[in-house]
Amino acid sequence: MKTIDRETLAARLAGSDQPTLVEALPEKYFRDWHLPNAVNINHDQVRQRAAELLPDKHAEVVVYCASATCRNSDLAARQLTALGYTDVAVYKGGKAEWEAAGLPVAEAVDAD
């Protein structure tokens, strides 16, 4: 599986051609905070939600989860690839590394 490091991801997000970020954790963790402009697809909901949330199978997608030891992102990325997505990478450092670096986050999504 292709991977992307924090520095490269931050640079890509600062550019004009940004990848789509997918957080592969349960919704309650996504609601607490997530990387900017990410969508939430729990690793066990990829088959049900990918077509709706990721309509372009050729767009660049970066999947992440809690930390380097979390495997949800690997599971979700494998499923996306199996569904025909052609440009999927995993950000292994996840939320823990992103937050530790002091990078911007989106917080407190209301459940309206």
Q: Rounded distance, CA 69 to CA 82, Å?
A: 23
Exposed / middle / buried, residue 15 (Cβ in 10 Å: 0-12, 13-18, 19+): exposed
Q: What is the CA radius of gyration of the chain?
A: 13
Catalytic residue among 54, 61, 65, 89: 65
Contacts of 35 (CB under 8 A, 6+ apart): 13, 21, 23, 64, 95, 98, 105, 106
Active site residue 65: yes
According to DSSP, the residues that pair with 22 across neighbouring strands are 39, 63
Q: Annotated catalytic sites, by residue? A: 65
